[in-house]
Structure 1
Amino acid sequence: MPTTKKESLQFGVMMCFGMVLLMTVYNYYLNGMIGKMTIMEGLSDFLIGFVIALILDMLIVGPNAKKIALKITANTKKKIYTVLAISICMVIGMAFFMSIYGLVTTYIHNGFTSSSVVKDYVVIFSSNLIMALPLQIIIMGPFVRFIFSRYIKSTKHSELRGV
């Protein structure tokens, strides 16, 4: 897929945008926030989450997920196994960190509502992982790879050929 830093950034922006958008709506639904917050509050929460996710993707989770996935799939020649391994490692890493973000924002908005931060984190992490893994593997991953290969990669190849 991405072969240059620019392409990696473009791919990461598209993937983060889609995943953060859908996961934000999912979490608003889970917390009963749809209809209770203004559009501006929703957009600002989305933008903050998007920036944090993009930074995590580019600097921490992405590089480490790729290293782990490439080690796991080193003995396979099937690219689909590598793609799935990277996707799974990315989802686990992003769910881990973004659940911390979700926990912090929940405490900021609602205060401490239970006696166990660890329990709250495990609940948030598991509910995010349950949604994010199939969302990434079945919907967003294939969709973003299609858009990327169709419009970003094809544009680059057209420019190289002088078309």
Structure 2
Amino acid sequence: MNLSLAVILLVLALRYAKWSKWQEFYPTILYMVMLNLLYSFIVKTNPLWLYKSSLIPKGLLDIIIIFIVETSMIILFLSYHPIQWKRISLYWASWIIVFSAIEYIFFLADRMDYFRGWNMGWSVIFYIIMFPMLFLHYKKPIVALLLSIPFTLGFMWIFDYF
């Protein structure tokens, strides 16, 4: 199922993303990769969530999620991001709902586990933060990097990583 999502998002990105803007999107992709690798380092032995696959080893699955799923998602997300504020909140809400639904399906299909008090509600909160932060990084990278610090420290405090 995780592999199916990777293939679907990759095909959608290859077909529909605005590849002429890939250089504009690249710093935001690196931002997401950096934060995911930081998460992997911080929670190495005690994760908040864990993707599971019967076909792919965990390390390879993490690489597929970080470099294919999330990269494809960012390219698609930024390719069609509206400019008008009235449409932005609807756009963000759509992405939050879709990714929350995908995660919920993964959870129901036993392709994802939660630990340390993390649950679907926390994932929705995370998506509510993540999609605006991706757009903020695209527009104002320094501001997004600075805001990422208190968000990261806040999650580390809430889930007892200090």
TM tier relative to shorter chain: 0.3 to 0.5
What is the TM-score when the length of structure 1 is the normalising length?
0.41
Which is richer in helix?
Answer: 1
What is the TM-score when the length of structure 2 is the normalising length?
0.41
User: Which structure is richer in relative contact order (CA contacts within 8 A, separation 6 or more)?
Assistant: 2
